[in-house]
């Protein structure tokens, strides 16, 4: 009996997640209500609250799942990459896969603004499972950095470029394209990573560096 109840609970949760993901994509985060999610899934509100405290929390779980899906493909490619450029392009392939889902890009940006007003959500969104965190960037590219610039700073700059372009893309400004932003990000990263490419005035160091 307990196993059957657990299976039923998992099924209910999955159906609520599917409906929430669809509605968030169609209507946006703010315009979607818990009542709409439960009605679309065919459950009472109590079923929702038995799994999540509120709408923020179901969104975070959906975001975590989406990022896991993107990362699975990235991880396979990272294992085959052996140079700075190869790793860098795998990272940007991963970022562009997020851009490809235009509806999700819009709702992600909307939720980011929403989270900026809530200290708990700010802390959550800065965790690596929800984004390309500075720590993950450092882990992926840290071995190739041959200057005193912290890899986390390089990761933060790349994330800022990506998220800025995401806004431009959503607004359809049509000033920059993906090749423009990837080229700029690569130039910026190389300038920070390698002394011979250092055009930004950061101090160099001289350890053995892989490339």
The pTM (predicted TM-score) of the whole model is 0.76
C-alpha R_g of the chain: 20
What rounded mean pLDDT belongs to the chain? 83
Determine the average pLDDT of the residues in 186-209: 60
Q: Residue 79: pLDDT above 90?
A: no
Determine the average pLDDT of the residues in 171-193: 86
User: Token pair for residue 68?
Assistant: 């896991």
CA distances from 142 to 42, 150, 160 (A): 48, 8, 18
Task: Classify domain 55-194 by CATH number.
Answer: 1.10.357.10
Comparison of pLDDT for 209 and 115, the residue scoring more: 115
What residue ranges do the domains of the chain occupy?
8-52, 55-194
| pLDDT attached to residue 59 | 96
| pLDDT attached to residue 60 | 94
| pLDDT attached to residue 159 | 83
Euclidean distance between CA atoms 59 and 147, whole angstroms: 39
- Sequence-ordered alpha helix ranges (H) in 28-133: 34-41, 45-49, 55-80, 84-100, 102-115, 119-125
pLDDT digits (tens, 9 = 90+) for 107-162: 988 999 999 999 999 988 887 677 666 667 777 777 777 777 787 787 888 888 88
Euclidean distance between CA atoms 115 and 121, whole angstroms: 5
Phi and psi, residue 190, nearest 5°? -65, -40
| pLDDT attached to residue 201 | 43
Task: Classify domain 8-52 by CATH number.
Answer: 1.10.10.60
């Amino acid at each position: 009996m307990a196993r059957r109840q657990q299976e039923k609970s998992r099924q209910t949760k999955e159906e609520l997640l599917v409906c929430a993901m669809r509605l968030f994509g169609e209507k946006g985060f703010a315009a979607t209500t818990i009542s709409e999610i439960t009605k679309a899934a065919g459950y009472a509100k109590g079923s929702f609250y038995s799994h999540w405290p509120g709408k923020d929390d179901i969104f975070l779980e959906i975001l975590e799942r989406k990022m896991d899906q993107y990362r699975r493909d990235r991880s396979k490619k990272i294992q085959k990459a052996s140079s700075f450029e190869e790793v860098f392009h795998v990272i940007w392939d991963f970022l562009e896969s997020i851009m490809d889902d235009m509806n999700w890009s819009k709702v992600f940006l909307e939720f980011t603004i929403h989270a900026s007003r809530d200290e708990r959500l700010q802390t959550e969104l800065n965790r690596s499972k929800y984004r390309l965190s500075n720590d993950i960037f450092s882990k992926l590219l840290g071995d190739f950095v041959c200057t005193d610039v912290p890899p986390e700073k390089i990761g933060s700059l790349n994330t800022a470029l990506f998220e800025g372009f995401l806004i431009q893309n959503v607004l359809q400004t049509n000033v920059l394209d993906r090749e423009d932003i990837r080229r700029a990000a690569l130039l910026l990263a190389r300038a920070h990573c390698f002394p011979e490419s250092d055009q930004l005035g950061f101090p160099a160091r001289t350890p053995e560096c892989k490339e």
